[in-house]
Amino acid sequence: MSYRKGSHSVYDIKYHVVWTTKYRKAVLREVAKRLRELVRQTCATMDIYILSGHVAKDHVHLLLSVPPKVSVSELMQRLKGRSSRIMLQEFNELRRQFWGQHLWARGYFAASSGNVTDEVIQQYIESQEGITDVDDQFSIGST
């Protein structure tokens, strides 16, 4: 396991994100290379590492390592917004199919990912020494 370091933090935050084209139209094959380039550029400006990715005909999957200062909503807003704006400018065919400046569907999927399970973390927390007070799975240890 390799942790990333910021000026005041050490972290390992990974997200699996997926988003689709509006109406699930299968149009990404023709523009996949440009889309991949735009996603890489956007991630680089936000200090996000792409661990894995795939552009399908109507959706995009990414596994990303993200700094703690970047929220999932900010990440998705930047990825979808920039890629939509630039691709609709550059590809006339997309403009014809997606009138109204909307290339992507409204929502997205996001899940956190890690090297240990929730159960392992819970067992670690419960095994801490010097527990003096337990209230609803949230304990206080002695100092």
Which domains does the chain possess? Answer: 9-141 (3.30.70.1290)
SS3 143: coil
Residues with catalytic annotation? Answer: 124
**Please, which residues have CB within 8 angstroms of residue 135's CB and are 6 or more apart in sequence?**
none
pTM of the model: 0.83
CA atoms within 13 A on the CB side of 19: 23
Question: Measured in whole angstroms, how far is the alpha carbon of residue 83 from the centre of its chain?
Answer: 15
Q: Residue 125 to residues 3, 135, 142: CA-CA distances in angstroms?
A: 20, 14, 14
pLDDT tens track for 59-98: 999 999 999 999 999 999 999 999 999 999 999 999 999 8
Cα separation, 7 vs 126, whole angstroms: 30
